[in-house]
A and B are shown apart, each in its own frame.
Chain A
Amino acid sequence: MGTGRSAGTSRIGRLALASVVVAPLLAACGGGSGSSGTALKIWDYSAEQTDFHKKVTEEFHRQHPDITVQWQSISQDEYKRTLPLAFQSGQGPDIFYWSDNGPLAMSQLLDQKWIQPLDGGSALPASFTERWPAGSFVNGVNQLDGKTYGFPLSESTYWGPGYMFLNKKVFADAGLDTAAPPKTWSDLKTACARIKAETKAYCIAAPTKDVDFQRIFYALAAGEYTFNDWFFDYRKGTFSLAEPQAQKVFAFIQELKKDGYLAPGTNDKNFSRQQFASGQAGIMMDGTWLPSVLTSLGMKSDQYAVAPHPVPDDGSKGALWSQPDGNKYWVSAKSKQSKAAWTFLDWMTRPDGYFAKEYLKDGFGTLAFADNARYITDPAIRRITKIADEPGYRVKLPLPVAKCPDLVKSKAYVKAIGERPTWEYEAMSGALNSGTSLRPEAQRIVAARQKTLTDQLKQEAAQGLKVSLDCFTFPDWSYTSDYRPAK
């Protein structure tokens, strides 16, 4: 009997102990918000900002004890796969990051039924919208039918691809000075020849795997002509990879490879960034986000310099693009925490708030709603802002939806770019590795996309939408200046 009682007592004891141990664990699983609190899930793919996000969520929770934010960063490739599945299975986040296709993001996300308006569709206070420069809220880009769905996070003058990063040690070993960076394509080849001859490093860490090819192509092509991130040339109203300018840029990249100036291998951006950070390559062309990535790789900003992208020897004839593509954080259509989401986003976008100050201080980039010059301390980002402030470095693209408001309802462009979305990069990677001409495949790509665009526009026009290829054509615009619509 004694044994039985002892066993029973021990069983009860174990149960009690288990409940003591498990209860906090369960609470932790629930986000630790307690029974009355709200847990807000945010997803993005800025892995280098994980520590920053942790600080942000702690600060927000300190100021709003009833809301606990769980901010999760997933790797970019994984994210694009995980998010759709999460939405399908009803397990999506409350707020998510999505920047694909820039100004088209909102209409695409609405089409996918992934987003809801900010603050449940209520009219937003002027104190919120006034945080951004005039013209930041555009119908068809982040507003629709009087409701606001998004807001520009990063501004579009400094933010974007097209900067050249130079590893100071590799340059010094080659007897080169980063203060005198290569300015033209010939200069670039000369510098590469020197690096190749004098050091064990490769000259350019150029990712050429899939869409990562864009990093070197965008930077070099900006000296030839101006296009958007889908190679669309608004001056001609056509997809442009088959155009002579694009062919010339690609041929130059092929020359760099042939001369052994590109680090070998079909590498992705992460591999190339590591090559650059570890001194295995002297040059990398990338965007405003690179300084924070390099910091996470252990490379400090005094170990590298930033310079404008090199231009053709006969001078620049184009520019990098600027468009309203900074709308990145969206509230999920399925979220039941729209009020809490709004509270968080309103708090996050305060120009002098914790998020803005710390984001800029940590050098993650530039913000559309804050005084960048005041808070940016990172020398590399400061240099980037100086470079992009030069007239004609980054120009405002025409905005088709402003010319033809019915484009908000059109799916023509999305359909045209949606057919084999990475076709351009597949073609470039194939031609680069085989050393063959890009032109035949580029012509096929352009013909296919252009046909889809025009056919679909005609169909939509027949259904009553005021849309045509003319909506995408701005023949009077110059590649090197901001587009300004005729009044």
Chain B
Amino acid sequence: MTLAPTGPRPPDAAPTTAARPRRAAFRSRPGRPPEGNRERARGRDRLWVAAFLGPFLLLYLGFTLWPLIATVYYSFFEWSGTGPPEQFVGGDNYSRLLGDPLFWQAVVNTLLFAIGTTLIKLPLSLLAALVMTRKWLRAKKALRTVFFAPLIIPVAMAGLVFTYLLNPSNGALNSALHGLGLTDGTTDVFANRWTALLALILISVWQVFGQYMIYWMAALQNVPDELYEAAALDGASEWQKLTRITLPMIRPVAVVIVMLALVNAMHVFGLVVTLTGGGPGTSTYVVSYFIYRQAFGSLPFAYGYASAAALLFSVMAFVLVTSQGLFVRRAQRLRKEYGV
């Protein structure tokens, strides 16, 4: 029995087919160098990538990028929306906008709304999610449906329903409060800026509460059970488990949820249209409503001015999203540290 040589193989020696059967078979194809095959495979991959990305890119170009470019362009014109924009006004729309108290009031209201809804809906939905992920809870599916149902109702319809419910003349809620002797029957929550804003915030929270509860539930379900089991063995209470395990573990996801909540809330529009119409007076104007009124308020339409407002608002939203990126990166680092 002779042993196979064990010394180093000469550099120019071809690998044996016994040692690398697949590669050998691959190389044994006549006239097809391996590099070319790899290139071809890469080319095919690129085609697939293009095929899958193409439709999205096309839609993105048509419905995001192009409108954005057009908005930038229109913002330098005084344009009523019909025919090509002809009256170039340079930065006039922007300087007018910066000096327009109504725009800044709308910005302040938008931020108040965004912060207000976020501060209410996130803790509440987290609390609900914590309960909904308890093993002892019955009828989880039914409860989930109940919490999620308002999200299915179109915003405009929700707004109209609450308009009638809260109407001081004959609204059901007001009648009930009046019946209980809690009000004089003429309480108009929409007659005052702060109560109107609060009503907007609470109705919005009611509507999107279920969505954020689902987000939290997804985050909570990612916390490994072993941690709770170990904590239980160490004699940790439920409160300790919540504050020492659950909350730190979901922190990375929480950052994303907070940012999503803020950005989504900044787009508030439908509720304002249906519930307050920006009133009383202009006290509940938000930026989207301001833009809408400029663009479609009445003749002559101020599309140029509305475009400038839209762009300025987009810049603000962009700053928020960019800051979200920073927080998300930090959150990702935390995730790695926690090993989840």
Complex partner residue of A112 from B82, B102, B283, B296, CB under 8 angstroms = B82
Q: A421-B297, A426-B278, A427-B281 are in contact. Are A265 and B188 (CB under 8 A)?
A: yes
Q: Which residues of A contact B (CB under 8 A)?
A: 80-81, 84, 87-88, 100-101, 108, 111-114, 202, 209-210, 260, 263-268, 271, 275, 280, 414-415, 418, 420-422, 426-434
Q: What chain A residues lie within 8 Å of B191 (beta carbons)?
A: 264-266, 433
B169–chain A nearest beta-carbon distance, Å: 5
Nearest B residue to A272, CB-CB = B169
Q: A260-B186, A275-B169 are in contact. Are A433 and B280 (CB under 8 A)?
A: yes
Q: A114-B82, A433-B280 are in contact. Are A267 and B169 (CB under 8 A)?
A: yes
Nearest A residue to B285, CB-CB = A426
B54 at the interface (CB under 8 A from A): no
The interface residues of chain B, by DSSP majority, are classed as loop
- Among B244-276, those with CB < 8 Å from A are 276
- 11 more contacts with CB within 8 A, not counting A263-B169, A266-B190, A422-B297, are A80-B298, A88-B82, A111-B300, A112-B82, A265-B191, A266-B276, A266-B279, A271-B167, A422-B293, A426-B281, A429-B281
B158–chain A nearest beta-carbon distance, Å: 18
Q: What chain B residues lie within 8 Å of A434 (beta carbons)?
A: 192, 280-281
| Residue pair B279, A430 in contact (C-beta under 8 Å) | yes
Nearest A residue to B101, CB-CB = A444
B116 at the interface (CB under 8 A from A): no
A103–chain B nearest beta-carbon distance, Å: 14
| Residue pair B300, A210 in contact (C-beta under 8 Å) | no
**Total inter-chain residue pairs, C-beta < 8 Å:** 97
Q: What chain B residues lie within 8 Å of A81 (beta carbons)?
A: 296
Q: What chain B residues lie within 8 Å of A275 (beta carbons)?
A: 169-170
B37 at the interface (CB under 8 A from A): no
Nearest A residue to B170, CB-CB = A280
B186–chain A nearest beta-carbon distance, Å: 4
Please provide the 5 A-B residue pairs with the shortest distance between their CB atoms, ordered closest to farther.
A430-B281, A433-B280, A264-B168, A433-B191, A264-B186
Among A87, A265, A271, A429, the one with the most B-chain Cβ atoms within 10 Å of its Cβ is A265
B81 at the interface (CB under 8 A from A): yes
Q: What chain A residues lie within 8 Å of B192 (beta carbons)?
A: 433-434
Q: What chain A residues lie within 8 Å of B296 (beta carbons)?
A: 80-81, 84
Q: A263 to B270, alpha carbons, bound, how many Å?
A: 26
| Residue pair B277, A209 in contact (C-beta under 8 Å) | yes
Can you identify 28 A-B contacts, CB atoms within 8 angstroms?
Answer: A81-B296, A84-B81, A87-B82, A100-B298, A111-B300, A112-B299, A112-B300, A260-B186, A264-B188, A265-B167, A265-B169, A266-B188, A266-B279, A267-B167, A271-B167, A271-B169, A418-B298, A418-B299, A422-B293, A422-B298, A426-B278, A429-B280, A429-B281, A430-B280, A430-B283, A432-B280, A433-B279, A434-B280
Nearest B residue to A101, CB-CB = B299
B80 at the interface (CB under 8 A from A): yes
B7 at the interface (CB under 8 A from A): no
Q: What chain A residues lie within 8 Å of B81 (beta carbons)?
A: 84, 88
Q: A88 to B79, alpha carbons, bound, how many Å?
A: 13
Please count how many residues in chain B sit with their CB below 8 Å of the partner chain's CB atoms.
Answer: 30
Q: What chain B residues lie within 8 Å of A426 (beta carbons)?
A: 278-279, 281-282
Q: What chain B residues lie within 8 Å of A266 (beta carbons)?
A: 188, 190-191, 276-277, 279-280
Nearest B residue to A278, CB-CB = B170
Q: Which residues of B contact A (CB under 8 A)?
A: 80-83, 102, 167-170, 186, 188, 190-192, 276-283, 293, 296-302
Nearest A residue to B276, CB-CB = A266
Complex partner residue of A418 from B102, B186, B302, CB under 8 angstroms = B302
Q: A78 to B278, alpha carbons, bound, how many Å?
A: 17
Q: What chain B residues lie within 8 Å of A271 (beta carbons)?
A: 167, 169
Q: A449 to B52, alpha carbons, bound, how many Å?
A: 55
| Residue pair B168, A100 in contact (C-beta under 8 Å) | no
Q: A8 to B331, alpha carbons, bound, how many Å?
A: 62
Q: What chain A residues lie within 8 Å of B299 (beta carbons)?
A: 100-101, 108, 112, 414, 418
Q: What chain A residues lie within 8 Å of B302 (beta carbons)?
A: 418
A385–chain B nearest beta-carbon distance, Å: 30
Nearest B residue to A411, CB-CB = B300
Nearest B residue to A114, CB-CB = B82
Q: A483 to B276, alpha carbons, bound, how many Å?
A: 40
A340–chain B nearest beta-carbon distance, Å: 24
Complex partner residue of B169 from A209, A210, A280, A414, CB under 8 angstroms = A280
Complex partner residue of B298 from A111, A421, A430, CB under 8 angstroms = A421
Q: What chain B residues lie within 8 Å of A202 (beta carbons)?
A: 169
B291–chain A nearest beta-carbon distance, Å: 13
Complex partner residue of B102 from A84, A87, A420, CB under 8 angstroms = A420
Nearest B residue to A414, CB-CB = B300
| Residue pair A84, B301 in contact (C-beta under 8 Å) | yes
B197–chain A nearest beta-carbon distance, Å: 13
Q: A73 to B277, alpha carbons, bound, how many Å?
A: 23
Among A280, A421, A426, the one with the most B-chain Cβ atoms within 10 Å of its Cβ is A426
| Residue pair A111, B80 in contact (C-beta under 8 Å) | yes
A484–chain B nearest beta-carbon distance, Å: 30
Nearest B residue to A425, CB-CB = B281
Q: What chain B residues lie within 8 Å of A113 (beta carbons)?
A: 82-83
B99–chain A nearest beta-carbon distance, Å: 12
Q: A265 to B276, alpha carbons, bound, how many Å?
A: 11
Q: What chain B residues lie within 8 Å of A280 (beta carbons)?
A: 169-170
Q: A99 to B283, alpha carbons, bound, how many Å?
A: 29
| Residue pair B283, A108 in contact (C-beta under 8 Å) | no
B234–chain A nearest beta-carbon distance, Å: 59
A467–chain B nearest beta-carbon distance, Å: 18
Q: What chain A residues lie within 8 Å of B82 (beta carbons)?
A: 84, 87-88, 112-114
Q: What chain B residues lie within 8 Å of A268 (beta carbons)?
A: 277
